[in-house]
Amino acid sequence: MNILAFLLGIVGIAAAGTSGGASNTATSTGAVPQGDQTPAMDDMSGMDHDDHDMPMPDMLDMPDMSAEFADITSFGEFHGTSSHTMEHSLHGGRTAITTEAMVSYNALREFLGLNPVDLETVGRWAFDNDLTNNDQPYGEDLSGVGLYYGLQGAKAGWISDEEFDPQLIADIQKLAREDETQQVMDLVETYGHDGYATFLQDQGLVETFMNTLKMEPHYGGWMHGRTHGDLAFADETGTNVATAHDLNHLTVLSHDQSQPFMNDTFDWPQWPALEVPAGDVLDYFQSMVTLGDPRGEGIEFASSQSETEIIMQVLVSELPESTLAVNEDEAEEDLVMMF
């Protein structure tokens, strides 16, 4: 089976799925909400410069949904004062966020032995872990938030723990935006998980990975409008100094794209994030891929799973619910008896 076609089916981004009527339940199809379904946002008094006077989503002038991939603005627009939030403000090779990022995201999960997931699953994880503005999703929030964190996980989750340096994110994004494919893949080979560069090449996903690196995190305004997470992160002394939103700025570059962790509106660093240990930063981005604890151990749990555990995980996810026993012990016995 062609893995690209399989992953596209998982995230539900076929254009045919975007033509139906909208509902209050967010889906991964990119259906555009109808009417004013977005309540007033929760208190955001602690948010930074980009969050004041935040306009509500403008559902007019939606992008053409007949394209192969859906634009994140299909789920809402939250244009504030950040640079590069609108299509006409994308510069230096930056591109819009689309659901193509979920192909890269699920490819990385596949490489780690994890099942593909859809937009809403990632979105629900973000809401459950205090990585969003609001406590509960409204309208198409699960899809948009899921796509944002899928993008961020795919941008940085491929880097090995031993090789991570925030500067690498700036270097590889700039090279991708300059269409330097070979140099990008050389960096993946050198700094990525062992075998991941070969995996991308063998599966025909190099172009998809390149396209994901080009995408601008501020585009569409979701970074500040819906994913301004308050989860706290500590410095070396254990003192909380930054939030998840500060760490999300890892992939935001300076105007000349030479530095990571930037607040590109004013072209200066996102200061609090610089005090968080690099290992904790990488674990945070890796948690977006594993859907684990944002302040946990990154991908360690995934890479340490035995082959049997991975097979059991896949089988449980694919069996109809009616075939499984009520508790986990009985479920495992049922699966053993199948072989």
Q: For 108-120, what is the mean pLDDT?
A: 97
Give a yes or no: residue 318 inside a domain.
no
Give a yes or no: residue 337 inside a domain.
no
Q: What DSSP assignment string belongs to 237-303? A: TS-EEEEHHHHHGGGPPPTTS--SSEETTTTEE-GGGGGS-HHHHHHHHHHHHHT--TTS-TTHHHH
Give a yes or no: residue 108 inside a domain.
yes
Q: Please check the confidence at residue 19 and state whether its pLDDT lies above 50.
A: no
Give a yes or no: residue 320 inside a domain.
no
- When divided into structural domains, the chain yields a total of 1
Q: What is the pLDDT of residue 88?
A: 75
Higher pLDDT, 70 or 39: 70
Q: What is the pLDDT of residue 85?
A: 79
Q: Is the pTM of this model over 0.85?
A: no
Q: What is the pLDDT of residue 57?
A: 38
Q: How far apart are CA 72 and CA 220, in angstroms?
A: 7
Cα–Cα distances in angstroms (integers) from residue 73 to residues 143, 153, 197, in the given order: 11, 19, 31
Question: If you count them, how many residues does the chain have?
Answer: 339
Alpha helix segments (H runs only) across 194-243? 196-202, 206-214, 222-225
Q: What DSSP assignment string belongs to 48-69? A: -GGGTTPPPP--SS---TTSSS
Q: Please check the confidence at residue 34 and state whether its pLDDT lies above 90.
A: no
Q: Please check the confidence at residue 281 and state whether its pLDDT lies above 70.
A: yes
Name the amino acid, one letter, at 66: S
Q: What is the pLDDT of residue 223?
A: 94
Give a yes or no: residue 151 inside a domain.
yes
Give a yes or no: residue 166 inside a domain.
yes
Q: How far apart are CA 260 and CA 254, in angstroms?
A: 7
Q: For 136-140, what is the mean pLDDT?
A: 96
Phi-psi region of 193 (alpha: psi -120 to 50; beta: other; left: phi over 0): beta
**Residue from 22, 56, 24 nearest 40 by CA:** 56
User: Beta partners for 243?
Assistant: 232
Name the amino acid, one letter, at 95: T
Report pLDDT digits (tens) over 59-102.
334 334 346 899 999 999 987 656 677 777 789 999 999 999 99
Report pLDDT digits (tens) over 220-262.
999 999 999 999 999 999 999 999 999 999 999 999 999 999 9
Measured in degrees and rounded to the nearest 5, phi and psi for residue 203 equal -90, 5
Give a yes or no: residue 120 inside a domain.
yes
Domain holding 300, by residue range, is 3-18+56-305
Check if the beta carbon of residue 260 is closer than 8 Å to that of residue 253: yes
**Is residue 97 helix, strand or coil?**
coil
Spell out the residues 6+ positions from residue 95 whose beta carbon is closer than 8 angstroms to its own. 177, 211, 214, 215, 216, 219
Give a yes or no: residue 323 inside a domain.
no
Sign for the pseudo-dihedral over CA of 104, 110, 116, 122: negative
